């Protein structure tokens, strides 16, 4: 199994178009600090790749990754489909960028499909251009595509709905989640039956349910929600009156932070989905040394992970 990191930023990217915070200003002054929206590409077999989440940066992410370039003689793309971890706009707006294809295969949970089709009207928007072929994603592992050794399964981590579908159930916060939480936000477990390698991808974590801990326990690599460094960051930076946890993201640092949970694991652990206010967007920030002492790091855009 081969994973390719396509982006590592939270909503808006780094820099964000309407922001001049230290993180955004630093990225404008130092282009190497720029980050695209968080996304991952997974090689299902020699000819097929799947993109995890379809961000607004999707076209640029494909162009910057030679393995995803179309093959000679026509429109023969290795991009076989999409896997969605939630229905947030930052993870789904890129679907429309694939309208030049005849067919778009999308793996998603039932609530996510319902939100995109019934609320965002994605089916009606894209049907004149391309056919959407939906596959339901759940706790039972399924091959990414026919004949693939890579199987994928969903681990529900939150019932946080996107704003456009906000009426109804709320969010699951704290350190646990209800047993029957609706799978609005999921972590992904990817397992290669040939090599035995296992990866967990969780760009959004409002909770840390037992099933998620179990998935991490058997993983060789994990890419985890690093949106905010600490719980007060959104309020301290002035971007939101709520805490990080209140916004649906467990912070990295603090007594209930994810770093303390990840450090004891044998898996290689990387943070992704960094907000522009997170000090980790500055490569010289002291927080990097703090994490390194715990055996943790921030995922680098373009990095390859072979399992």
104-155: per-residue pLDDT in tens? 999 999 999 999 999 999 989 999 999 999 999 999 999 999 999 999 999 9
pLDDT interval class at 60 (50, 70, 90): very high
pTM score > 0.75 for this model? yes
Give pLDDT, residue 256.
87
pLDDT at 213 over 80: yes
What are the structural domains, with CATH classification, of the chain? 2-300 (3.60.15.10)
Note the pLDDT of residue 38.
Answer: 98
> Over 80: is that where the pLDDT of 24 sits?
yes
Evaluate if residue 172 carries a pLDDT over 50.
no
Q: How far does CA 133 lie from the centroid of its chain? A: 21
Nearest Cα to 275, choosing from 306, 301, 244?
A: 244
Please give the distance of CA 24 from its chain centroid, rounded to a whole number.
Answer: 21
Least confident of 55-69, 141-155, 178-192, 214-228: 178-192
Q: Tell me the pLDDT of the chain averaged across its residues.
A: 94
pLDDT above 80: residue 171 = no
d(CA 253, CA 144): 34
């Amino acid at each position: 199994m081969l994973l390719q990191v396509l982006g590592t930023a939270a909503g808006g990217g780094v820099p964000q178009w309407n922001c001049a915070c230290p993180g955004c200003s630093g990225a404008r002054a130092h282009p190497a600090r720029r980050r695209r929206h968080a996304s991952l590409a997974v090689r299902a077999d020699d000819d097929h790749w799947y993109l995890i989440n379809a961000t607004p940066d999707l076209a640029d992410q494909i162009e910057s990754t030679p393995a995803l370039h179309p093959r000679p003689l026509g429109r023969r793309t290795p991009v076989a489909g999409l896997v969605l971890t939630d229905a947030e706009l930052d993870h789904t707006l890129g679907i429309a960028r694939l309208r030049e294809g005849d067919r778009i295969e999308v793996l998603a949970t039932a609530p996510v499909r319902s939100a995109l089709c019934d609320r965002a009207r994605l089916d009606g928007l894209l049907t004149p251009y391309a056919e959407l072929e939906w596959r339901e994603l759940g706790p039972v592992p399924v091959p990414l595509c026919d004949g693939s050794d890579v199987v994928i399964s969903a681990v529900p981590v939150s019932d946080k709905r996107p704003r456009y579908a906000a009426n109804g159930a709320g969010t699951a916060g704290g350190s646990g989640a209800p047993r029957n939480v609706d799978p609005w936000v999921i972590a992904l477990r990817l397992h290669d039956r040939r090599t035995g390698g296992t990866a967990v991808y969780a760009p959004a974590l409002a909770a840390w349910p037992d099933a998620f801990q179990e998935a991490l326990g058997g993983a060789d690599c994990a890419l985890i929600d690093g949106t905010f460094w600490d719980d007060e960051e959104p309020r301290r930076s002035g971007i939101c009156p709520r805490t990080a946890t209140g916004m649906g993201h467990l912070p990295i640092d603090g007594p209930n932070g994810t770093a303390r949970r990840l450090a004891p694991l044998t898996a290689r652990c990387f943070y992704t989905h960094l907000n522009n206010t997170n000090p980790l967007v500055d490569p010289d920030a002291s927080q990097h040394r703090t994490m390194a002492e715990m055996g943790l790091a921030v995922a680098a855009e373009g990095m390859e992970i072979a399992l």
